[in-house]
């Protein structure tokens, strides 16, 4: 098997080093670990397809890995797997300024695509804190959202074509130069959000957007979460909305304590809002701020330096939540009217099951897409807390996954967000593409 893999991709791109495999078999948080036999790093779509064909024929499980920033153990192997990394598929093509699109390999990191777009005077519609690590292939596989979802939509809205290595060892190429293409099934949409269970995305055609010439940013403080959610509804419907982020005041205080980044305003809850357009939005934002029952005077950033200072309160969160060790993460989607109740009852659950833990809530309030991080929660406390939190999410009318995917961590809870017929249909699609179930077998389905 090792010799055959080496013949397909080259000996230096096949590794059985125990230290390498151990590092690659843990998730980003370090909470979840698996086991793997070999790491293979193909350099083209054809090499990926050849590796898949070999693994299928030898009944070997395969786990796909991109930037390994999954927060639901989506890249953790469970069956002595072959780890298939897309890291060598990292090319970013020349930007088509006229059609506003660019082709990128699945292993290209988000920041590389953003830089290419910016150099052409355009923007890519998805932004994440993990931009220097997260790959566009992985982001498409989980239909990632992020900081600009309220304006541009999730990753699926940016994908206009792709190459996919299928489980049978063939390569599907779906590209079109026309803007309207209603020819048969929308296959790219099938692979977006499939979490690598139907094939390995190897390259993507990505939509780009015109870059707004004017931005204005503000941070407001609130004593209660309910009024902040109401303010979020107001800002969400404004023309030119570019970002709308909830920040837990406790997280802001931790950022000040550990990173020396003081919050721009006081408040138990903070709301960051940004408008962007081809004309000055300052007056529109000021009018909206006058209608918001904030507890303190908002901080407003008109120039770039001031805006960066305001964004620091949101950008620092990824670093802050890791100060106390690997956090326990819940990525949820909630109806806006249920957010305040969820936050209150989630705090009670944390107190019950992990009394020494600290819960920190932040996320994309415009879509009700929130990230609950539980700090200082031990592995012994995790199991009961996790199950109770899933029940709370379902009781609030939410979805157990909003943008991180199901992975292996949430697969047993899939039925809480999808009906029996829905899950059965997904299993039918999976069986059609991958009859033996060797590809990403630990992901999505229990």
Residue 162 pLDDT exceeds 80: yes
d(CA 66, CA 130): 12
The answer to whether the beta carbons of residues 347 and 359 sit under 8 Å apart is: yes
**Which tens digit of pLDDT belongs to each residue from 351-378?**
999 999 999 999 999 889 999 999 999 8
pLDDT for the residue numbered 260 = 84
Residue 137 pLDDT exceeds 80: yes
Mean pLDDT in residue range 279-308: 93
**Which tens digit of pLDDT belongs to each residue from 402-411?**
777 888 888 8
The answer to whether the beta carbons of residues 126 and 158 sit under 8 Å apart is: yes
The answer to whether the beta carbons of residues 166 and 56 sit under 8 Å apart is: no
Residue 69 pLDDT exceeds 90: no
pLDDT for the residue numbered 258 = 84
pLDDT for the residue numbered 416 = 81
The answer to whether the beta carbons of residues 41 and 135 sit under 8 Å apart is: no
pLDDT for the residue numbered 130 = 87
The token pair at 7 is 């013949």
The token pair at 207 is 């939509």
pLDDT for the residue numbered 291 = 93
Predicted confidence band at 127 (pLDDT cuts at 50, 70, 90)?
Answer: very high
Query: Whats the size of the chain, residue-wise?
Result: 446
Mean pLDDT in residue range 379-402: 90
Residue 279 pLDDT exceeds 80: yes
Other beta carbons within 10 angstroms of residue 19's beta carbon come to 8
* Mean pLDDT, all residues of the chain: 92
- Of 262, 368, 365, the residue nearest 320 (C-alpha): 262
Other beta carbons within 10 angstroms of residue 183's beta carbon come to 9
Instruction: Please state, in angstroms and as integers, the Cα–Cα distance from residue 217 to each residue in 29, 273, 352, following that order.
Output: 31, 6, 38
Mean pLDDT in residue range 294-314: 92
How much of the chain exceeds pLDDT 90, in percent? 74
What 8-state DSSP symbol labels residue 139? H
pLDDT for the residue numbered 297 = 93
Residue 287 pLDDT exceeds 80: yes
Residue 95 pLDDT exceeds 90: yes
**Which tens digit of pLDDT belongs to each residue from 185-221?**
888 899 999 999 999 999 999 999 999 999 999 999 9
d(CA 134, CA 104): 13
Torsion angles phi and psi, residue 232, rounded to 5:
-60, -40
d(CA 258, CA 250): 12
d(CA 118, CA 254): 33
How much of the chain exceeds pLDDT 70, in percent? 100
pLDDT for the residue numbered 319 = 83
């Amino acid at each position: 098997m090792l010799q055959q893999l080496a013949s397909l991709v080259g000996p230096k791109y096949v590794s059985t080093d125990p230290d390498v495999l151990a590092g690659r078999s843990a998730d980003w948080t370090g909470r979840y670990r698996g086991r793997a036999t070999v790491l293979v790093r193909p350099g083209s779509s054809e090499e990926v397809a050849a590796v898949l064909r070999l693994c299928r024929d030898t009944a070997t499980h395969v786990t796909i890995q991109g930037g390994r920033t999954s927060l639901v153990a989506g890249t953790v192997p469970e069956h002595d797997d072959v780890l298939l990394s897309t890291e060598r598929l990292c090319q970013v093509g020349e930007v088509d300024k006229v059609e506003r699109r660019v082709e990128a390999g699945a292993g290209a990191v988000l920041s590389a695509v953003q830089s290419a777009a910016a150099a052409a005077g355009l923007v890519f519609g998805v932004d994440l804190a993990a931009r220097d690590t997260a790959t566009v292939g992985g982001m498409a596989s989980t239909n990632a959202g992020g900081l600009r979802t309220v304006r541009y939509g999730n990753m699926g809205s940016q994908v206009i074509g792709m190459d996919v290595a299928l489980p049978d060892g063939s390569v599907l190429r779906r590209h079109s130069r026309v803007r309207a293409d209603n020819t048969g099934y929308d296959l790219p949409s099938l692979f977006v959000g499939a979490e690598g269970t139907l094939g390995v995305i190897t390259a993507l055609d990505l939509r780009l957007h015109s870059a707004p010439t004017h931005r204005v940013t503000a941070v407001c403080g609130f004593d209660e979460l309910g009024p902040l959610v109401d303010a979020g509804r107001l800002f969400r419907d404004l023309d030119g909305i570019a970002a709308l982020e909830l920040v837990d005041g406790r997280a802001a205080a931790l950022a000040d304590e550990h990173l020396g980044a003081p919050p721009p305003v006081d408040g138990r809850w903070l709301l960051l809002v940004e408008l962007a357009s081809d004309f000055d939005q300052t007056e529109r934002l000021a009018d909206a701020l006058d209608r918001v029952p904030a507890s303190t005077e908002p901080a407003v950033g008109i120039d770039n330096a001031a805006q960066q200072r305001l964004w620091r309160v949101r950008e620092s969160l990824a670093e802050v939540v890791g100060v106390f060790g690997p956090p326990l993460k819940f990525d949820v989607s909630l109806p806006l009217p249920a957010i305040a109740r969820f936050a209150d009852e989630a705090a009670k659950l944390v107190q019950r099951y992990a009394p020494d833990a600290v819960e920190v809530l932040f996320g994309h309030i415009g879509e009700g897409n929130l990230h609950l991080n539980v700090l200082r929660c031990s592995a012994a406390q995790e199991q009961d807390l996790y199950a109770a939190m899933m029940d709370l999410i379902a009781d609030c009318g939410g979805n157990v996954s909003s943008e991180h995917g199901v992975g292996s961590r949430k697969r047993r809870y899939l039925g809480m967000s999808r009906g029996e017929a829905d899950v059965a249909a997904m299993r039918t699609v999976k069986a059609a593409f991958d009859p033996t179930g060797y590809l990403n077998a630990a992901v999505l389905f229990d």
